[in-house]
Structure 1
Amino acid sequence: MYGAIVGITVYVVGYLVTYATAASAVNRAVQGNVRLTDAGAASAPAWKAVGWVFYDAHLVGTRLPDVSGHVDFVGLSGVQFLYLVPPLFLLAAGGIVAYLARVDDPKAGVQAGLTIAIGYLLFAIIGAILVSFVGIQPDLLRAAVVAGIVYPVACGAIGGGLVGVLRADRREIIGTPLS
């Protein structure tokens, strides 16, 4: 139950942190790049351009119309620190779900942490569609698979597993089940 809600929440918070820290840099990068201006990116609303960066921070890549390959909006904007946002936030989310589920062993923690992928996947797909603009869009398949499944499954499981380890150690030390 907690997993889907926490997955959705961490997606939204991750996007908002990306917006707060990168919106002006993204705008400068788009305005100063002839290739992007010619593709129509300069007239994109800021929230959509920040969305391209958010997906690039998940290693999804953004496509321009009539251009092969992906554009690295994170690199163009000079906000490489955003590559840390998805894994760190998803690690924390997996840990939060495991804590809320009161797991007391690593296996249960991993299982609890995995559940964040449900909500995150849904929003990763919807978000990729919403940030599309005049043919500029994140690769939808990669958004679903990499951003929606790989990142939350891997990071959520690790975060949940870590909480399971910590709570199991605590249980062993105090000798009673944790509540």
Structure 2
Amino acid sequence: MSRDGVRGDTPWVPAAITGVVAFALEYLVVYLWQANRVRESLQNVNAIIDLLGGQTIPAWKIVGWLFYNAHFVSVTRPALGGGRTTTNLIASGDAPQLLYVLPPLFLLVAGVILVRYAGLTAPRDGALCGTVVSLGYAVPTWIGVFAFRITTDDAWMGPAVALGLVLAGVVYPVVSGAIGGALAAVTSG
């Protein structure tokens, strides 16, 4: 049974679940792929921090930075002499460029799954329905902007807040979900 139109048929709860699952699986893939490399690179820094009695930097937070860098969200940190500076670990060559493929891929697949679940066949309706994946993806993305921060008494380092909230939390899931939804509708049948 296929349906056209998303007005009354929008699967809100499945869309939210699909978005959350896409976020979790994407982070898991980044973690499994990069955590050992991150731990190795943190080894000397954490040894010094531990020697000075500070709290060591957990690898899961730096993996989170890579997750946001894959969405083209830079990591921001205090600059010498005041102000802030930004960096993207992937763009600077400290992580594989292939990480950039993960966000659109996972969100495109989420859009396909959602539209197939909804049984939509019109590309426009599929695209509109695919955008709803953003509901579930945005919330953990917004939480992650703050959860992946490393803080000291007077400073913090982590994903850039505005870009993290807008680009990773809204733009990526809306655009990629819509493309996936439209593809699912076009190829249904």
Give the deviation of 1:108 after TM superposition.
1.3
Q: Using the alignment, how far apart are the partners of 2:158 and 2:26 within structure 1?
A: 19
Give the deviation of 1:72 after TM superposition.
1.6
Query: Per-residue displacement from partner, 1:77-116 (whole Å, max 9, x unpaired)?
Result: 3322111110111110011100011101111111110001
Please give the secondary structure, in 2, of the residue aligned with 1:59.
coil
Query: Per-residue displacement from partner, 1:41-67 (whole Å, max 9, x unpaired)?
Result: x93101111001100010011111236
Please give the secondary structure, in 1, of the residue aligned with 2:85.
coil
Question: Equivalent residue for 2:85?
Answer: 69
* Structure (1/2) with the larger strand percentage: 2
1:5 maps to which of 4, 13, 17: 17
Give the deviation of 1:32 after TM superposition.
7.1
Counterpart code for 1:84: V
- State the superposition RMSD in angstroms: 1.9
- Structure 1 gaps of 5+ residues are 171-179
Please give the secondary structure, in 1, of the residue aligned with 2:79.
coil
Asked if residue 136 in structure 1 is aligned to residue 157 in structure 2, the reply is: yes
Q: Using the alignment, how far apart are the partners of 1:103 and 1:55 within structure 2?
A: 31
Aligned identity (percent) is 36
Do the aligned residues in 1 keep the contact of 2:146 with 2:158 (CA within 8 Å)?
Answer: yes
Do the aligned residues in 2 keep the contact of 1:25 with 1:78 (CA within 8 Å)?
Answer: no
Q: Using the alignment, how far apart are the partners of 1:139 and 1:30 within structure 2?
A: 21
Question: Equivalent residue for 1:51?
Answer: 64
Please give the secondary structure, in 2, of the residue aligned with 1:136.
strand
Do the aligned residues in 2 keep the contact of 1:104 with 1:165 (CA within 8 Å)?
Answer: yes
Q: Using the alignment, how far apart are the partners of 1:76 and 1:20 within structure 2?
A: 19
Q: Which moved more, 1:143-152 or 1:75-84?
A: 75-84
Asked if residue 117 in structure 1 is aligned to residue 134 in structure 2, the reply is: yes
Q: Using the alignment, how far apart are the partners of 1:46 and 1:31 within structure 2?
A: 10
- Structure 2 gaps of 5+ residues are 1-11, 50-54
Q: Using the alignment, how far apart are the partners of 2:44 and 2:20 within structure 1?
A: 34
Question: Equivalent residue for 1:148?
Answer: 169
Q: Using the alignment, how far apart are the partners of 1:54 and 1:98 within structure 2?
A: 26
Q: Using the alignment, how far apart are the partners of 1:136 and 1:30 within structure 2?
A: 15
Q: Using the alignment, how far apart are the partners of 1:31 and 1:76 within structure 2?
A: 19
Q: Using the alignment, how far apart are the partners of 1:109 and 1:147 within structure 2?
A: 21
Q: 1:22 to 1:131 in 2, by over 3 A?
A: same
Do the aligned residues in 2 keep the contact of 1:128 with 1:140 (CA within 8 Å)?
Answer: yes
Q: TM-score, normalised by structure 1?
A: 0.83
